[in-house]
A = this chain, B = another copy of it.
Amino acid sequence: MARVLLVEDNVDLAYGLQNNLEIEGYEVRVAERGETGLEQAREWDPDLIILDLMLPDLDGYRVLQHLRKSGVMTPVLILTARGEESDKVLGFRLGADDYVTKPFGLMELLARVEAILRRVQGPSVSDAVEGQDAEEFGAVRIDVRSRTVLRDGIELSLTPKELDLLLALIRRRGAVVSRLELLQEVWGHRAAVVSRTVDTHISELRRKLEEEPSHPRHILTLHKAGYRFQP
| A residues with CB within 8 A of B | 1-2, 24-25, 73, 75, 85-86, 88-89, 91-93, 95-99, 105, 107-108, 111-112, 114-128, 130, 145-147, 159-160, 168, 171-172, 174-176, 181, 184-185, 188-190, 192, 222-225, 228
A36 CB, min distance to chain B CBs, angstroms: 25
A227 CB, min distance to chain B CBs, angstroms: 11
Using A89-B107, A92-B115, A189-B2 as known contacts, say yes or no to A181 and B125 having CB atoms under 8 A apart: yes
Report yes or no: B176 in contact with A146, Cβ–Cβ below 8 A. yes
Complex: how many Å from CA A223 to CA B24?
Answer: 31
Query: Which of B88, B107, B171, B223 contacts A124 (CB under 8 A)?
Result: B171
Complex: how many Å from CA A135 to CA B185?
Answer: 29
Complex: how many Å from CA A120 to CA B121?
Answer: 11
Using A25-B190, A108-B89 as known contacts, say yes or no to A224 and B160 having CB atoms under 8 A apart: yes
Report yes or no: A190 in contact with B24, Cβ–Cβ below 8 A. yes
Report yes or no: A172 in contact with B119, Cβ–Cβ below 8 A. no
Query: Which of B85, B91, B124, B223 contacts A105 (CB under 8 A)?
Result: B85
Report yes or no: A88 in contact with B115, Cβ–Cβ below 8 A. no
Complex: how many Å from CA A185 to CA B126?
Answer: 12
Complex: how many Å from CA A105 to CA B86?
Answer: 10
Using A122-B185, A189-B2 as known contacts, say yes or no to A111 and B88 having CB atoms under 8 A apart: yes
Query: Which of B146, B172, B184, B192 contacts A127 (CB under 8 A)?
Result: B172
